[in-house]
Structure 1
Amino acid sequence: MRDFTVTVLVLGLLGVAAGVLWSYLAPRPPYVVTGQGPTLADPSTQALIAADGWFAVVTGVLGLACGAVGYSLSRRGRPLAAVLGLAGGGLLGGYLALLVGRAVNLGATTVAASGPVVSVVPGPLDLTARGVLYAWPTLAVGLFFVLEGVAGYRDSPLRRPFGGQDPYGPLSGYDISRR
């Protein structure tokens, strides 16, 4: 239980840092202030898609790093607690990154020039594709399982069939040098 809790808490703290980084990297969509409130200035803007992409990149890289570190630290102990901690902590970290990224405004705020009647302001960050919230836990757990599979194959007796002996060795009767 301790390994699981520590993993979730560490990944949660990394989620706060990921939110700040996402806020710094992702562009803000431009909004027009109207009488009814702020409205998206350009509905075909690529800033909304870019925010999703930057979120996936930041949390995906952290997921791969956390999966590798979690695997290396759990080799001596409890791998199940580490895998469950990577899954739960990745979900928590992604959610905290979303909350912090929405609240912190560090990114580029380039907007078109405002006219005397229209005021264009940078909008808040948000995700339009909610599936990117699963990038962190999916990549962390996926890399953990890949590394575990590679190590399991490396240590497997199936890798060395015939007890480590060459089946075409000196007992086979075929000698290449006699040609």
Structure 2
Amino acid sequence: MTREVRAFAVTVLALATLGIGAGLLWSAVSPRAPYQVTERGLVLADISTQALIAADGWYAVITGGLGLLCGAAGWFAGRRWMLGVLAGLGVGGSAGAALTYWVGSTFTIGAATVEAAAAPGVKIVPGALALTANGVAVSWPLLAVGLFGLLEGMHGYRESPLRQPYGEDPLTGPAGGPLDGPGRG
């Protein structure tokens, strides 16, 4: 039981640590939406900008890719502690996705340039990163747990007696007769 808890804790900490790097990467590659400075505060300068959607897309690509990577690595490395690693993928993936959002929206990496047509004397500034499609926040844990389950299902089916046709014994062959081949019969 303590090994399962240890596998859970190590998995959660590893995925949360990856979330910090993923947030910095998201901040570096995502475009910033242009905002206009007014007396009421910041207002979206170009309502037809695709920067908001691009930020969601980059977040989904980065966290989804890490989810697939972590799911495969967790399945291959955690064969002895399946339940702890699987639970760690779900909780750690959620923590990593949350840290990715927090780090990416807090720190600006690289040049944050924006392009928008503005009237003379109007100041345009880059906006902070934010998710407009909140559903992409579950891509990391969903893909990690999903791939882990898929790999385990394929592995379990390969070793399953259900793969044998009905009425066939794997040791004696069809209809109880000896199998032909090297080392059998």
Task: Please give the TM-score of this superposition, normalised by the length of structure 2.
Answer: 0.86
Residue 151 of structure 1: aligned partner: 155
Question: Is the alpha carbon distance of 1:54 and 1:122 closer, same or farther for their aligned partners in structure 2, counting shifts above 3 Å?
Answer: same
| Equivalent in 85, 95, 98 of residue 95 of structure 1 | 98
Compare 62-71 and 160-169 and name the one that shifted more. 160-169
Residue 86 of structure 1: aligned partner: 89
Give yes or no for the alignment of 1:66 onto 2:70. Answer: yes
- The amino acid across from 1:93 in the alignment is G
Flag structure 2 segments of 5+ consecutive residues without an equivalent.
Answer: 179-185
Which whole-Å deviations, capped at 9, do the CAs of 1:130-165 have from their partners, x for residues lacking one?
111100000000000000000001111111331236
Residue 174 of structure 1: aligned partner: none
Preserved CA contact (<8 Å) 2:70 2:144: yes
Percent of aligned pairs with the same amino acid: 55
How far apart are the structure 2 equivalents of 1:79 and 1:170?
39
Question: Is the alpha carbon distance of 1:54 and 1:163 closer, same or farther for their aligned partners in structure 2, counting shifts above 3 Å?
Answer: same
Residue 169 of structure 2: aligned partner: 163
Compare 115-124 and 56-65 and name the one that shifted more. 115-124
How far apart are the structure 2 equivalents of 1:79 and 1:140?
13
Preserved CA contact (<8 Å) 2:169 2:176: no
How far apart are the structure 1 equivalents of 2:41 and 2:92?
37
- The amino acid across from 2:85 in the alignment is A
Compare 54-63 and 33-42 and name the one that shifted more. 33-42
How far apart are the structure 2 equivalents of 1:145 and 1:136?
14
| Equivalent in 8, 11, 19 of residue 4 of structure 1 | 8
Task: Please give the TM-score of this superposition, normalised by the length of structure 1.
Answer: 0.88
How far apart are the structure 2 equivalents of 1:38 and 1:151?
54
Flag structure 1 segments of 5+ consecutive residues without an equivalent.
Answer: 172-179
Residue 141 of structure 1: aligned partner: 145
Give yes or no for the alignment of 1:37 onto 2:29. Answer: no
Preserved CA contact (<8 Å) 2:45 2:116: no
Q: CA RMSD in A?
A: 1.9
SS in 2 for 1:38: strand
How far apart are the structure 1 equivalents of 2:113 and 2:70?
31
Higher normalized helix content (fraction of residues): 1
| Equivalent in 106, 110, 114 of residue 110 of structure 1 | 114
Preserved CA contact (<8 Å) 2:15 2:96: yes
Aligned length: 170
How far apart are the structure 2 equivalents of 1:42 and 1:116?
15
Residue 175 of structure 1: aligned partner: none
How far apart are the structure 2 equivalents of 1:43 and 1:113?
11
